[in-house]
Amino acid sequence: MGFGCNLSRRTLLQAWLASLGRFWASGGKLSATLDPVSVALQGFAPAVTFQRRYRMDATILLLGATIFTRKAAGGAYASVEISRDTMAVALQFAAGSSPARAHGLNRFGILREAIVRRETSGDASEISFAGLMTRAREESFEQGRKALASPPGGSECVVARGRTSASGVQTWIDTADIGPESNWTNLNETLGEALRHEPRTTPRETSAGSASTFLHAMHDAALCPDARVQRLFLHGGKLYWLETRRQPQRTAEGGVELAGTIHNLNGARCAEFRTAYLAGDESGIPVRIEYRPRSFLRLSFEAEPEATQPAIHSLFPEALLQEAVAHKEVGEKTPKPLPYGHGSNEPSLIRKSLDEPRVSSGA
């Protein structure tokens, strides 16, 4: 499957409406061709939205020693949206390198999640997710060096989508060939286009029990005051344990830090990270993230508002429709990012950009 990402907001909305039409035509049965997150959030509207943008710095390591650090090698953004009655929560995180700042390396990933509780389901929650990530095969410093020397071109990506089923959670995982014009700044459009294609694989069935999704588990751990938190989460059709340890942040701003590890069910350590949160920040979105995806690479994300970064779109279909209507007469192929703290036309919506003084639109 090959595709580009030259999609406007209007084109993306039209594709979503066409998919929703197929959903209604099927009598309400969820089709794998749909974005499961959009389907899960249908009928809900966000009451509060938190957003944060990041600068990504990359450090190359050899035997644990720093060899080279590239500031602003890429960027990232995160958002949390909560419905009025807290019955629906939507989370997303997107990040990637800037080829011009990373020796031509074009790596990126995006993850969207929705947790929905319905009155008819009691305490049970429905989980839905969708994501896309470039495939990285480098396992050593030498392989990483060769990747930097490779000529620029398209990328092979992994596309995952899933949702709660009667027997647990269904996950579809496919590969996709992405054109060289795709990068982390247009991931919203790239993922939207990928989800329009029928999965070529059969779904993985996972008995998840009380497990959540990764972003939701991280968000829950950030807001939990306990010194140690353990959460079971599902990712890529597999179950993992998230464990975090809370400690005071050693900065003038105060706040807290979480030192985290991820293990598989056999106890093998899969990843380590550190996150930092400001004192009194109820968003659950960190201001700093340190992550080591490979032994030779450390990625640092620092909260830093930047006007040239891409717009952060809502995951709620009703809010997305409002965004499209708001830009209907602008005539721009690629709409400019909304100003920080800008709210929608709905008076009850509060949108908070966490990198600027908090601004409310409405009550």
Greater confidence (73 vs 61) lies with: 73
Residue 24 scores a pLDDT above 50:
no
Give the SS3 label for residue 265: coil
Q: How confident is the model at residue 229 (pLDDT cuts 50, 70, 90)?
A: very high
Alpha carbon 300 to its chain centroid, in Å, reads: 16
Assess contact for 193 and 7: CB atoms under 8 A.
Answer: yes
What is the mean predicted confidence (pLDDT) over 310-333?
74
- Output the pLDDT for position 77: 95
Residue type, 310: P
Q: What is the mean pLDDT of residues 37-54?
A: 94
When pLDDT is averaged across residues 77-98 and rounded to a whole number, the result is: 94
Give pLDDT, residue 150: 53
Per-residue pLDDT at 25: 43
pLDDT given for residue 139 in this prediction: 53
Judged against a pLDDT cut of 50, whether residue 212 lies above it is answered with: yes
Residue 356, phi then psi, degrees to nearest 5: -130, 170
Residue 325 CA to residue 99 CA, distance in Å, equals 33
* Mean pLDDT value of segment 193-198: 89
Residue 83 has pLDDT above 90, yes or no: yes
Q: What is the mean pLDDT of residues 14-23?
A: 49
The strand pairing partners of 201, in sequence order, are none
- Residue 131 in 3-state DSSP? strand
Mean pLDDT of 174-200: 89
pLDDT single digits (tens) 133-163: 987 655 544 545 455 545 556 678 999 999 9
The DSSP call for residue 112 is E
What's the chain's average pLDDT? 78
Banded pLDDT at 316 (limits 50, 70, 90): very high
Q: Could you tell me the pLDDT band of residue 343, with boundaries at 50, 70 and 90?
A: very low
Say if residues 52 and 352 touch (Cβ distance below 8 Å): no
Q: Which one has a higher pLDDT value, 292 or 162?
A: 162
pTM score > 0.85 for this model?
A: no
Per-residue pLDDT at 287: 94
What is the structure's pLDDT at 163?
93
Q: Is 214 exposed, middle or buried (0-12, 13-18, 19+ CB in 10 A)?
A: buried
pLDDT band at 311 (very low <50, low <70, confident <90, very high): confident
- Where is average pLDDT lowest: 64-78, 128-142, 224-238, 288-302? 128-142
d(C-alpha 102, C-alpha 72), whole Å: 9
Residue 261 tokens read as: 């590890």
Residue 280 has pLDDT above 60, yes or no: yes
Residue 269 has pLDDT above 70, yes or no: yes
Mean pLDDT within 209-219: 93
- 169: burial class by Cβ within 10 Å (0-12, 13-18, 19+)? buried
Q: Roughly how many angstroms between the first and final C-alpha of the chain, as a whole number?
A: 46
Note the pLDDT of residue 352. 58
Read off the pLDDT band of 123 (50, 70, 90).
Answer: low
pLDDT tier for residue 252 given thresholds of 50, 70 and 90: low
Predicted local distance difference test score (pLDDT) of residue 52: 95
Residue 334: predicted pLDDT: 42
Higher pLDDT: 209 or 204? It is 204
